[in-house]
Structure 1
């Protein structure tokens, strides 16, 4: 049984602007407006003024059903006790440095601007629910249709989610873990979707501007220690392998199997320890860029000296089994898609 709650104090951005899910996680809300001030260092004054000027309307004590290109989901609040009790399954390692920064930011802001992403196995037919139950409010922007419910109709839909055994984190491990440590933040702003609507995509690695000397050193190391095959950019990438590309060079590298459990034999862990740290002598996570499938298609954005390490995605079955078995994978192991946009709905938590 999983408990979800209506958002007590929430806002809808009606400006018509829509932002990538990675844009902003936290927001300062005051007197029914966005109030970014001098504490926000990652935005310049012009950006703050633009965001502060966008019109938002209160939709408190509500849940939101949304439709995006035939995919449906629910926006609601998740009590942190559900995560603490283990009803929300995680699969990625959380980093202490990230948690420390988030705890500080939770104090500095009072609202969430992007929900965590949670998946579930059973199918809940939100399309039928919307057809049968007239929303209290509607809103549309770009490819998103929002159906806002309050009162009895909201409770009716949330009761269906109580029949779920568990939820699975698609995105937001650090936000959920950090909230569980907080004394004042009791809920997490959440986007909840069936795995029928979600895709599990790989996250590739990029080492920027690798010198010819370092590249040749790595290639020599890999040729001695690994099964290495020269391939084309569009060759098949099997599980347990990495495709390494630099300029017009493309190699298929077979990762070394380890006599251990699923954590140590995870492709991302083996990529980190066998190739990035050993072959390229890179031990600083800040040196690694993370790129999605979509970014990978835009090859014009990469230089001839960038080294791209492509990984194989987990299947949905593997993803769910890993979480159920409490297998902890390295950070940035999976990209679960689609994610709800940032700054379209905002949830005030203090």
Structure 2
């Protein structure tokens, strides 16, 4: 059964939180990153990229140690302070279209090893090693692993009541999001919540597979440091996550003419030409395609190969097995330079524009997966194809920090 733990978080002071917290480092374009680093001395980006001011090239280990030193500087300057008592935290994010509320806690590395915390994505070993070394030398983690738990009315009511109290933090971002944070440090209340989660059979990783595996390695490497036995986690009800698709853009037709390619597709799909009318799939096993200035609907024929396993029924796997691999010759979805991905958060007209500009020849639009598919894969110990889901909410760095 799932175990959760309170911890003493390091957090920005209340008056500085809106200046300190930032999006994940990779989300910034260069101009935006430079502006933040040049004009906001309190941004957590200065910790994440401490060599920015002199632009020096350093080894990974040296950079990680610089991250640790800059982090200590922020603490010494009272920009960041450590809570006096172990606590759990409720975090609410309100965007222009959605509202997400979850619980920030420590979860157990042992639960991950014992498959109580379940995964559905493959990992890249080199990324895991880099993350493990990063956390080893920096001695902190500020990016929680997003995990879902089954809908629970008792937890929902408790969160609802907590959110009616005055928040410890309330601030807005330049992306027009509003963030709230409540600290729960009452021992009886924490014990009550721990007991509820101990009755929860499984937690499912929605986002953060590499970080979870890195924390497992870190725990194995230094078994004497029990603080490394916990995973900084953001637990959210499975009905409160938002799952987007990743659409596929391909640079060529692998030697096929347009007519021959469509003829091959017709063996497995019912094809309808939508001409200039933008088309987005409305259900599973239906795909959109944009080719040569025209949109198409592709619907998997009912007499196509029988789909039995959770993996075989995934639209991303169907597209790979029926189109990308046999027709377009794309075997490695992660590394082939002929394929790129656009999240479903972006307009399908962005797919059209990239193809019209000649950068790509064909684009495929997918219907988003759902939490049931993710859980079925995880329960069956199967792995989703790369770039199958883009999941929200996304957490801000520097808001809640777990120290090792």
Determine if the TM-score, normalized by the shorter chain, exceeds 0.5: yes
**1:220-260 alpha-carbon deviations (Å, 9 max, x no partner):** 23422433332232354431232122463222334553565
Alignment CA distance shift 1:9-1:145 (3 Å) = closer
Alignment CA distance shift 1:310-1:19 (3 Å) = farther
- Aligned counterpart, 2:43: none
Report the alpha carbon displacement of residue 214 of structure 1 after superposing the two structures with TM: 5.0
Residue pair 1:66, 1:144 contacting (<8 A) in 2 also:
yes
Alignment CA distance shift 1:7-1:96 (3 Å) = same
Report the alpha carbon displacement of residue 156 of structure 1 after superposing the two structures with TM: 3.9
Q: Computing the radius of gyration over CA atoms, which structure comes out larger, 1 or 2?
A: 2
Report the alpha carbon displacement of residue 93 of structure 1 after superposing the two structures with TM: 2.5
Q: Which runs of 4+ in 1 moved over 6 A?
A: 40-43
Higher helix fraction (1 or 2): 2
TM-score by length of 2: 0.70
Alignment CA distance shift 1:129-1:263 (3 Å) = same
Residue pair 1:94, 1:331 contacting (<8 A) in 2 also:
no
Alignment CA distance shift 1:154-1:223 (3 Å) = same
2:343 to 292, 301, 304: 292
TM-score by length of 1: 0.79
- Aligned counterpart, 2:201: 165
- 1:302 pairs with 2:354: yes
Report the alpha carbon displacement of residue 84 of structure 1 after superposing the two structures with TM: 1.1
CA RMSD of aligned residues (A): 3.6
What secondary structure, in the 3-state scheme, does the structure 2 residue paired with 1:158 have? helix
Residue pair 1:4, 1:77 contacting (<8 A) in 2 also:
yes
Give structure 1 stretches of 5+ with no counterpart.
25-32
**1:249-289 alpha-carbon deviations (Å, 9 max, x no partner):** 22233455356533234221232343233333334523333
What secondary structure, in the 3-state scheme, does the structure 2 residue paired with 1:302 have? helix
Q: Which has the higher contact order (CA 8 A, sep 6+)?
A: 1
User: What does 1:122-271 align with in structure 2 at a 5 Å threshold?
Assistant: 122-123=151-152, 124-125=155-156, 126-130=158-162, 138-142=168-172, 143-152=178-187, 153-182=189-218, 183=220, 184=222, 185-207=228-250, 210=251, 214=254, 217=257, 220-226=260-266, 227=269, 228-231=271-274, 232-246=277-291, 248-255=293-300, 257=305, 261-271=309-319
**1:86-112 alpha-carbon deviations (Å, 9 max, x no partner):** 211222223334334433433343222
Residue pair 1:277, 1:283 contacting (<8 A) in 2 also:
yes
Higher strand fraction (1 or 2): 1
Mapped to 1, the partners of 2:196 and 2:25 lie a distance apart of: 29
Mapped to 2, the partners of 1:109 and 1:200 lie a distance apart of: 31
- Aligned counterpart, 1:341: 396
Alignment CA distance shift 1:218-1:2 (3 Å) = farther
Q: Give the number of equivalent residue pairs.
A: 333
